[in-house]
Homo-oligomer: A and B are copies of this chain.
C-alpha cells in the first residue's frame, strides 16, 4: 500500500512500489479545511488530485456567480484530470469537510499512466463509471419534477455520506442552499419538499440535520426512473 497515504481505496495503489515512491516524491498531500478551494474554474490544469479522506463538491458557475454542484467526490475519487497541453479547468472543487487530498502533476502522472497499465485501467474505469452516473443525472434533471429531484439529491448525498455499506439510514448535515445547488433549484423548494417528506415519516429533521431513515423507501418513490441508482 502507498507509503504516504496508507489509504486502501486510493487508485495510486495500483502502481508499482517504485512508481508510488516517484509519485510521492513529486506529490503534495496537504490537508484542506472545510470550505477551501482545491482548484478554481478558469485556472490552469497542473495535474490531478486524489481524494484520500473527506468530501468534495465539484462546482461550475455562470457569470452571475450562481454555482451548480455537478458532482460529489469522496475518498478514492479523482478530481480534475491530466492535461496534455495547456488547458483550463471548466469546473472548480471545494471541500465540504476537512479533507486530505494528494496532488500529482501532469508530467509525473502521464509517465505513471504509461508505465502502470493496472493503474491506468483503474482510473479509466473510474472516469467511465462517473460518466455513466453523470449521464443518469442528465436524464433526471430533464425529466423529474422538484420533489423527485430533492429525493434524488438526498440519495446522491446519502451515497457520498453513508458509513456502513448495508445501512438504510444516514445523517446529512448540508444546509438547504447546498442541497439546492446539487439538484438545481432554490432553498425554499428544498425546504418544502423536506417538510412533506417529514410528514410522510420518511425523514427526520433535527437541528437542521436531515436524518434519512429509510433509503429503500426513498428509492421506491423515484423507481420509475428505474436504472437511476444502480449504476
Q: Which residues of A contact B (CB under 8 A)?
A: 41-42, 58, 60, 62-64, 66, 68, 70-71, 81-82, 84, 87-88, 90-91, 110, 113-118, 120-121, 123-125, 127-132, 134-139, 141-143, 183-184, 223-228, 230-231
Judged by DSSP, the binding face of A is helix
Q: Give Cα A113 to B117, complex, Å.
A: 7
Q: Give Cα A90 to B42, complex, Å.
A: 33
Q: Give Cα A64 to B154, complex, Å.
A: 23
User: Is B143's CB under 8 angstroms from A68's CB?
Assistant: yes
User: Is B121's CB under 8 angstroms from A70's CB?
Assistant: no
Least distance between A129 CB and chain B CB atoms (Å): 8
User: Is A131's CB under 8 angstroms from B120's CB?
Assistant: no
The 7 closest A-B pairs by CB, nearest first: A142-B184, A90-B227, A124-B124, A127-B127, A134-B134, A90-B231, A70-B135
A127-B131 contact, Cβ under 8 Å, with A120-B121, A143-B62: yes
User: Is B127's CB under 8 angstroms from A138's CB?
Assistant: no
Which B residues are in CB contact (< 8 Å) with A41?
Answer: 227
Q: Which chain B residue has the least Cβ–Cβ distance from A64? A: B224
